[in-house]
Structure 1
Amino acid sequence: MVFGTAKDETIVSIFRLPGGKSTGLAAVQTLAPPPAGASGKSWHGTIAASGWRCAPATHFPEPAVSEPSFAVPPTEPPDYDAFLRAHVLSQPLSIQRYDREDETIWVKRAGASNPAWRYRALALLALCLRLPVLRPVPNPGGHEAIRTEVRRLRQLAQRGLRVPAVLAECEDGFAMRHLGSPGVEAPSLGNAMEAALPRGDGSTLALWLQGLQTLQQVHGSGDCLSQAFARNMVCCADGVIGFIDFEDDPAAHLPLALCRVRDALCYAHSTAWILEQAGAMQTARTAWRDFVQSMEPETRALMARTVKQLAWVRRLPESRRLGRDMQRVRMAYTLVTP
């Protein structure tokens, strides 16, 4: 997102808030004018040796008033490898957005490693509940997560699915192209469905059906996603739904049929409550049954067993005092029950 003009330009970094709600401002970055006699660079942030001045923010502040700054339109193809090396370790956020006149990219830096005990605890819970879908997919974090995400993005792109294009990679991170058009926001499917609620014209259901069809396309390509929540699906400007966030690879640890059931249940859990608000639950349940019938026999049988094992969910109280998460689980169960 860009505030200001070519004479007074402030670049705003974006990050996803917990729970997948709309993005928030994470850092306000002001471009300083180049030193006298210095030549401008095509990429924002490389105009001077210390090109970014950042102020952390966890809310939406008013754009800062800055001194006149300098931005030069790109005149030659960018060197993505050089740009990545110059910024991956110095940028203030682990995931940073950069805008130039005709392109937006993201640079993602390797984070800290994840402790293994978390996955052992989840594996024990899945065993106790006899629910294979709860078996955790290891995400070691750090450099291994970067390598996994780069590999998965390229793998899914080769299957004809809409994912961010990998522009450059190194041990510490990688650069990828924004799924939206330059200067055009690309909302998550979840946010787009919520935004359509006030219209009451069936738009929320239409978006959900499109997401379901796209998930079916992924599975039909011979693959699976990972965390197939609506927050990780992106509504692109051309009407296509794309996918983000691939730091783990379920198919490397679990049977493919189980991975696809996990995908389907993640999608149901993240969207059922919006369908309920839109008054579209019954129509969506019919579409869900058709979706399940289109699954391969092994996947369909595993889905049926999983839903049967979740029958205890229907006994959960309907009281809102138990929290929104509990209500979302109940609504998701309503959606996936035959």
Structure 2
Amino acid sequence: MALSPQDLHRIAQSRGWRDGRVEVFDTASGKVTVKGLRATRHAARYHLLNGVARLLGLPFLQAAPMPGGRQAQQTEVARLRALHGVGARVPEVLHVDEDHFVMRWLGQDHLGDVIQSHHPQAAALWREAGDALVRLHAAGQYLSQGFARNMIVDGAPAAPAWPG
């Protein structure tokens, strides 16, 4: 899937992803999701949490680094490309710019919503998502936020599209 220069210009000029950080576009090649750059996060809160965790002797409470800014965007794009490279059903990265990136749109039905709605296939979908995580780990890959709210259910719903 390639984006036209007109689509890239329209995306670059939009206020939607700047104001709301994420925006879905209909393009000549199909639907895409645009994610804007998140502001760099100040490290003081992480240092405070890590200090308290050390004082309490609870290292598992230490914060995972979440830098925001360009570093976070580069990390997300790299993870999506690596996962796509091993066949995981993740959004394909189509374009990267300084302040946003564009990826193929997978859908809008999140596994978390499907489970909470008591869909008849909710348990089977949950198991499929878990199996997909096992396959990713076996391929030497990982997710930074493999939560049900971040997994898209493809179609009817019948199967989780991310990860797997």
> Fold-level match, TM-score > 0.5?
yes
Provide structure 2 residue ranges, at least 5 long, that are not aligned to the other structure.
none
1:63-91 CA-partner distances (Å, limit 9, x unpaired) = xxxxxxxxxxxxx9633544443337985
> Is 2:129 the counterpart of 1:211?
yes
Closer, same or farther in 2 for the Cα pair 1:168/1:215, shift >3 Å?
same
1:283-311 CA-partner distances (Å, limit 9, x unpaired) = xxxxxxxxxxxxxxxxxxxxxxxxxxxxx
Q: Check whether the contact 2:16–2:23 (CA below 8 A) recurs between aligned residues.
A: no
By relative contact order (CA 8 Å, sep 6+), the higher-ranking structure is: 2
Higher CA-based Rg = 1
Closer, same or farther in 2 for the Cα pair 1:85/1:100, shift >3 Å?
closer
Query: What is the deviation of 1:221?
Result: 1.1
Counterpart secondary structure, 1:208:
helix
Q: Identical aligned pairs, as a percentage? A: 32
Closer, same or farther in 2 for the Cα pair 1:96/1:78, shift >3 Å?
same
How many residues were matched structurally? 159
Runs of 4+ displaced beyond 4 Å: 88-91
Counterpart Cα distance in 1 of 2:25 and 2:35: 11
Q: Check whether the contact 2:17–2:34 (CA below 8 A) recurs between aligned residues.
A: no
RMSD: 2.8
TM-score, normalised to structure 2, is 0.81
> Is 2:30 the counterpart of 1:130?
no
Counterpart secondary structure, 2:118:
helix
Query: What is the deviation of 1:207?
Result: 1.9
**Residue pairs, 1:1-338, within 5 angstroms:** 78-79=4-5, 81-87=8-14, 91-100=18-27, 103-127=30-54, 128-132=56-60, 134-180=61-107, 186-196=108-118, 199=120, 203-237=121-155, 239-243=158-162
Provide structure 1 residue ranges, at least 5 long, that are not aligned to the other structure.
1-75, 181-185, 245-338
Closer, same or farther in 2 for the Cα pair 1:121/1:87, shift >3 Å?
same
Closer, same or farther in 2 for the Cα pair 1:209/1:151, shift >3 Å?
same
TM-score, normalised to structure 1, is 0.42
**What does residue 313 of structure 1 align with?**
none
**What does residue 251 of structure 1 align with?**
none
